[in-house]
Amino acid sequence: MRTLTKPAAPQVTAGPLRTAKATARVADTTSAWSLRVARAMGAESAVDVLTRQHRQIRLGFLRAALPGPWRRRNFDRLMRLLAVHEAAEEAHVHPVARRALRHGRELAARRRDEEREAKQLLIALWRTGPDGAGYLRQLNEVRRAVSRHAAREEREEFKALRKAISPSRLRMLGAEVKLTQVYAPTRPHRWVNNEATNKLAAPVLGPVDRALDALQHHRAS
């Protein structure tokens, strides 16, 4: 008697399935790594970081105007905070706003124009210094320009970013902001005023500025 053989089941190629699973594992690993970085940097939203720094900057202007032996130190702290704050915004926040927000290109361009204007005033103030003639007048001029710029950022850009970007992405952006500020230049530089120049300047001008800061602190002590 002839034995009937059961037809072999068709072979299902597992390649695409394995590839999909591997891709999912990589995505999960990347997401987990991003969350770990965000937690390590404080897991704070970029909007919260920068808004808090706006308050610190406003207080810094008041302290830098006070007479007495602490004026130089207060002035240096204010210049450093303004420099690293703007570096992070120009390198990370405005580019995200340009891509993610409706009319983001025009919005980011307005913020950059305001920052260029404020930076020119900052450079002039830096050259005058806290002991120079006209210091308080220049300080107040910079304060007005920076305050107007910060108010527009909070009203037009930060508010829109909260709606357009997920909380986890904003926290990751906050980690990028904090990391940038660790290495950013601590003094105003005329040509450092956009995403590309800020990212190029950080590894070059950042260490130079910090070495000069340390030398200045050593001489003052």
Rounded Cα distance between 6 and 69, Å, is 96
Q: Is residue 25 part of a domain?
A: no
Expressed as residue numbers, the domain containing 110 is: 43-220
HEC secondary structure over 39-50 = HHCCCCCHHHHH
Cα angle 26, 180, 214; round to 5: 140
Q: Is residue 6 part of a domain?
A: no
Higher pLDDT, 140 or 4: 140
Q: Is residue 147 part of a domain?
A: yes
Note the pLDDT tens digit of each residue in 188-213: 888 888 888 888 888 888 888 888 88
Q: pLDDT-derived band of residue 27, with 50, 70 and 90 as boundaries?
A: very low
- pLDDT, the chain, mean: 85
- pLDDT reported for residue 192: 85
Judged against a pLDDT cut of 60, whether residue 108 lies above it is answered with yes
- pLDDT reported for residue 217: 76
Q: Of the candidates 136, 135, 141, which has an alpha carbon nearest to the alpha carbon of residue 121?
A: 141
What token pair was written down for 181? 């500020």
Note the pLDDT tens digit of each residue in 46-59: 999 999 999 999 99
- pLDDT reported for residue 193: 82
- pLDDT reported for residue 34: 47
- pLDDT reported for residue 17: 53
Q: pLDDT-derived band of residue 146, with 50, 70 and 90 as boundaries?
A: very high
| Number of domains forming the structure of the chain | 1
Q: Is residue 20 part of a domain?
A: no
- pLDDT reported for residue 1: 46
Q: Is residue 176 part of a domain?
A: yes
CATH (domain of 162): 1.20.120
Rounded Cα distance between 192 and 196, Å, is 9
Q: Of the candidates 152, 173, 148, which has an alpha carbon nearest to the alpha carbon of residue 162?
A: 173
Q: Calculate mean pLDDT across residues 61-65.
A: 97
Q: Is residue 79 part of a domain?
A: yes
Q: Calculate mean pLDDT across residues 175-184.
A: 94
- Whole-number CA gyration radius for the chain: 25
Distances (CA, A) of 139 to 34, 49, 128: 40, 24, 10
DSSP states along 37-84 = HHHHTT---HHHHHHHHHHHHHHHHHHHHS-STTHHHHHHHHHHHHHH
Q: Is residue 23 part of a domain?
A: no
- pLDDT reported for residue 15: 54
Q: pLDDT-derived band of residue 23, with 50, 70 and 90 as boundaries?
A: very low
Q: Is residue 96 part of a domain?
A: yes
- pLDDT reported for residue 178: 96
- pLDDT reported for residue 8: 52
